[in-house]
């Protein structure tokens, strides 16, 4: 199965099992990087987190499709987030957190095929930082 299909299937599984995956994803992110939680102190309703997560999903899918939108968005957002003191490598950490939540949600349905597709996707998103 092509990587794009595997990525889409796994994201659909996340949505089916978690509904709104934002709370699970951000809880895992903040557990691994507690310094980031303070950056969301003004986001009392979760709207900023939800918007950022949706944009992240859009970028991941765009990269999986071989699109041209994600490199532009990620480049701009890395600069934008730098003004808040967010290191560039936190984008990679966030994408890895998304993958880890997808994997946890899928449980025994997570296979080596999914793992390979996500590993390749994360390598491509990380390479965009070097471009």
User: Which pLDDT band holds residue 130 (cuts at 50, 70, 90)?
Assistant: low
**Would you state the pLDDT for residue 15?**
96
**50-60 burial string, b = 16+ CB within 10 Å, else e?**
bebbeebbebb
* 19-40 residue pLDDT tens: 999 999 999 999 999 998 988 8
The torsion of the CA quartet 54, 55, 61, 63, rounded to 10 degrees, works out to -160
Closest CA to 64 of 118, 112, 9, 131: 118
| Domain residue ranges of the chain, discontinuous segments joined by + | 3-35+45-130
Question: In the prediction, which pLDDT does 83 show?
Answer: 78
Determine what percent of the chain is predicted with pLDDT higher than 70.
Answer: 98
Mean of the pLDDT values across residues 91-120?
Answer: 96
pLDDT score for 69: 86
Provide the pLDDT for residue 127.
Answer: 87
Stretch 60-78: mean pLDDT, rounded? 88
Model confidence at 94: pLDDT above 90: yes
Q: Which CATH number among 1.50.10, 1.10.490, 1.10.10, 1.10.1060 corresponds to the domain 3-35+45-130?
A: 1.10.490
Mean confidence (pLDDT) of the chain: 91
């Amino acid at each position: 199965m092509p990587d794009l299909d595997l990525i889409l299937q796994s994201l659909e599984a996340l949505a089916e099992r978690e509904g709104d995956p934002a709370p699970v994803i951000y809880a895992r992110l903040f557990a691994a990087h507690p310094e980031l939680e303070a950056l969301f102190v003004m986001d009392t309703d979760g709207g900023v987190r939800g918007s950022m997560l949706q944009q992240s999903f859009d970028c991941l899918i765009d990269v999986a499709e071989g699109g041209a939108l994600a490199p532009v968005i990620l480049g701009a957002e890395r600069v934008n987030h730098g003004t808040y003191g967010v290191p560039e490598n936190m984008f990679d950490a966030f994408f890895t957190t998304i993958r880890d939540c997808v994997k946890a949600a899928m449980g025994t349905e997570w296979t080596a095929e999914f793992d390979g597709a996500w590993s390749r996707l994360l390598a491509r998103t990380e390479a965009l930082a070097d471009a």
